[in-house]
Amino acid sequence: MATYVVTGKANGSPLVAVSIDSINQDTQVVDELTVVNAVRECLAAVPGVQTVVAQRYEQVITIV
């Protein structure tokens, strides 16, 4: 799974950030993007937050 950082901003400056680095499921019950979008919606409802940005980070390991 990739790591997501969802940031709520006001006037371009970060107010609050949530990091999602794992979602534990025995079988896939919910898609990871559904969780990320739910966090985005939650932060968008916070008083003072004007914009919400979600960034995805993925680590790639190459063995040579």
Indicate if the pLDDT at residue 59 is higher than 90: no
- Residue whose token pair is 């063995």: 63
Among 3, 64, 6, 61, residue whose Cα is nearest residue 37: 6
Q: What is the pLDDT of residues 14-49, one digit of tens each?
A: 999 999 998 899 999 999 999 999 999 999 999 999
- Residue whose token pair is 């979008």: 37
Indicate if the pLDDT at residue 5 is higher than 90: yes
Length of the chain: 64
Q: What is the pTM of this model?
A: 0.82
pLDDT of residue 47: 94
Under 8 Å between Cβ of 20 and 6? yes
